[in-house]
Structure 1
Amino acid sequence: MFGMLSSLWDYRGFILSSIRNEFFARFARSKLGGLWMIIHPLSQVAIYALVLSNVIQAKLPDIDHSYAYALYLMAGIVAWNLFSDIIGRYLTLFIEQGNLMKKMKFPRITLPAVVLGSALLNNLLLIISLVVVFALMGQKITPEILWLIPLVLVTTALATGIGLVLGILNVFVRDIGQVVPIVMQVWFWLTPIIYPVSVIPEKFKGSMAYNPMFPIVSAYQDILVYNKAPDYMSIAWIAAISIVLMAFGLFLFRRAAPEMVDVL
């Protein structure tokens, strides 16, 4: 583990330049550039809001706001986007970078670090844009928003642990790459993002305890929509699980990296 951290520090220039190059390459020759990172999630929110607002809005508890449902949607989607973006990138990372891993000698851990840095940069810009949109909608921005910092770290750790394991498995069993997008889509709909917990039948509410994204998404909604601090205990529990998963993912990556090069 300490060897990985040392490699990341030694190659910090390579990591930072790779993140910068990837960011600008994504929007090369685009007239709107980085605005597409904001347009895509906001358009998703607009579609859900137009289709479902009349059905759901009356059932949102304790929100007295003309844009209540849109605020609720945006808070949940910004959390999910970071989670799904990291997992999606890790899923195909080692396959896409196979030639680089075989032809060049460098610390392999820098590849996940570049992906992670890029995803965090995108999410930071999205959160800033979201805060601006909330302010324009008349939503109060309170000091509780600082809770987003530990929440982003917890979400990142959880996604990194899951993403690394899936990305490694995908090298050896390519069916993983076909199954995971389906699972992620189902997972999205099983998480109270476009609907509140209150609409879930009582007999199914207990199953939310097995969904690690439920307390994270709920915490984002508490902070951004209800202007209150999240439940400390649930976040602490998910943080512990996330750290264990991330440590396991890094351990598996360290052990499997030589074999992945041979397979690729």
Structure 2
Amino acid sequence: MVHVLLRHRELIQQMTWREIIGRYKGSAMGLLWSFLNPVLMLAVYTFVFSVVFKTKWGGSDPVESKTLFALLLFTGMIVHGLFSEVVNRAPLLIVNNVNYVKKVVFPLEILPVVTLGGALFHSLVSLCVLLMAFAIFNGFVHWTVVLLPFVVMPLVIMCLGLGWILASLGVFVRDVGQTTALFTTVMLFLSPVFYPVTSLPERMRFWMMLNPLTFIIEQTREVLIWGHVPHWPGLLAYTVGALLVAWAGFFWFQKTRKGFADVL
């Protein structure tokens, strides 16, 4: 799996950049939209939750900043957005690139990697917006932000494995694309995006922690918002599980790719 990614790294880079540029092709502001979209969303979150709802994170601390809820919410949305973009687009990757299957000798296994690269780019832009907003509202940025790659990397690895699995299944079962859209929407509300895990009753927290997004969202907030060091044992265990998912996804994709041309 690693050998394939390294062997085609230049092609992956070129196609990822084309994927990023192609999304805004023909628009007047081009790549500027990738910056404006998260800025507008953060502004909306800040207004709705700090002005309209006057929501407090956990609902108990009266001295919280009015913008804290928006920043915490936006952090969760970034993590969920990375996950949902990869999962939602994966089932159609092979179906929408039939020429790569039938007419060209092409490393199909890099298509989910390219999609993941595009999702990471937009997540990085959103992260920059979040850090700028945090610095404006608080006057500083926690040094623990440098640890964020260690927090996000396990999720990236797991998303890659899911991308391979779903890209293959999408060829044989076309309903997978509809299912993933519903699944990611449900995951948005079953993940601690709009609320902290501590707001749940004790008996429900265990089930919430089984959600693969919960731990990463919580640890991302630890390093970005609260300035705490991440839970290293938990990240190590998550990474091991993510590597198993990635290897299984790659294995499944390579075993089933022989039937792509017959189906398509």
Report the TM-score, using the length of structure 2 for normalisation: 0.89
Partner of 1:57: 56
Partner Cα separation in structure 1 for residue 233 and residue 158 of structure 2: 17
Query: Which letter maps to 2:12?
Result: I
Question: 2:170 matched to 1:173?
Answer: no
- Deviation per residue, 1:70-105 (Å, 9 max, x gap): 111121111111111222222211111122221101
Q: Find the counterpart in structure 1 of residue 110 from structure 2.
A: 110
Deviation at 1:51? 4.2
Please give the alpha-carbon distance, in whole angstroms, between the structure 1 residues aligned to 2:76 and 2:230.
Answer: 14
Paired letter, 2:68: A
CA displacement at 1:246 relative to structure 2: 0.6
Single out whichever of 45-54 and 64-73 deviates more from structure 2. Answer: 45-54
Q: Does 1:16 align with 2:23?
A: no
Looking at structure 2, the residues matched to 18 and 125 of structure 1 have their Cα atoms a distance apart, in angstroms, of 19
Work out whether residues 112 and 167 of structure 2, in 8 Å CA contact, stay in contact via their aligned partners in 1.
no
Identity %: 28
- Give the TM-score taking structure 1 as reference length: 0.89
Aligned counterparts, 1:1-264, within 5 A:
1=1, 5=3, 7-53=4-50, 54=53, 56-57=55-56, 59=58, 64-138=64-138, 140-264=140-264
Return the alpha-carbon distance in structure 2 between the equivalents of residues 142 and 17 of structure 1.
34
Deviations 1:146-198 (A, max 9, x none): 12111221111111122221221121111111111111111110001111223
Letter in 1 for 2:56: Q
* Count of aligned pairs: 261
1:190-220 deviation digits (Å, cap 9, x = unpaired): 0011112232233322211211110100011
- Show structure 1 runs of 5+ residues with no match: none
State how far apart, in whole Å, the 2-side matches of 1:262 and 1:51 are: 51
Q: Is the 8 A contact 2:223 2:230 kept in 1?
A: yes
RMSD: 2.2
CA shift, 1:60, in A, is 5.4
Which string of whole-angstrom CA distances, capped at 9 and with x for unpartnered residues, describes residues 91-123 of structure 1?
A: 211111122221101222232232222222222
C-alpha separation in 2, matches of 1:121 and 1:41: 12
The range that moved more, 47-56 or 235-244, is 47-56
Q: Which moved more, 1:249-258 or 1:110-119?
A: 110-119
Q: 2-side partners of 1:32 and 1:74: how far apart?
A: 24
Question: Contact between 1:41 and 1:77, CA under 8 Å: does it hold in 2?
Answer: no
1:84–1:165: structure 2 CA closer, same or farther, 3 Å change rule? same
